Amino acid sequence: MNNLERAKKLLSDTDYTCVICSDTDTRTSKQRGVAPLLSWLDHGENLCNYSAADKVVGNGAAFLYVLLNIKEVHANVISRAAYKTLLNNNITVTYTTLTEAIRNRDNTGLCPIETAVSEITDAQEALAAIRTKLAEIKNEKR
């Protein structure tokens, strides 16, 4: 079983939201949204030999996978923009469901992270936009 197959199996057999595997390491998360990806990025992780399986991949997550140097991604659900971002950055992509855009958690509109990066093509710019949007969301909840 290769790394992507192992990641996909762990994702489907557990309640993890994101799984990444290399030949020698497996990391998992139950955090929602882009949180696990930001955590690995903030810890200076270079995951160039890792394959990822993720429940939902919007364009924000796609940009973070680019910055993490992930080799390949499988998404249960992926937005069209995320699919293009991954392919444009030479990341192999497989998916179960391709959708026009990722909806927010209340299903009342688009995902705020997807919206925040909708006009962005550079991964570093996307990272800044994601951090700004997350800070805004956090302040709104206070």
Model confidence, pTM: 0.96
Do 89 and 109 form a contact (C-beta atoms < 8 A)? Answer: no
Q: What is the model's pLDDT at position 45?
A: 78
The residue count of the chain comes to 142
CB 95 within 8 A of CB 76: yes
Residue spans of the domains in the chain: they are 3-140
State which CATH number among 1.10.390.10, 3.40.50.300, 3.40.140.30, 3.40.50.2000 fits the domain covering 3-140. 3.40.140.30
pLDDT at 142 over 90: no
Mean per-residue pLDDT of the chain: 95
Q: Which of 43, 39, 42, 80 is nearest to 62 (CA)?
A: 80
What would the pLDDT profile of 53-110 be if each residue is shown by its tens digit?
999 999 999 999 999 999 999 999 999 999 999 999 999 999 999 999 999 888 899 9
Tokens of 78: 């992926």
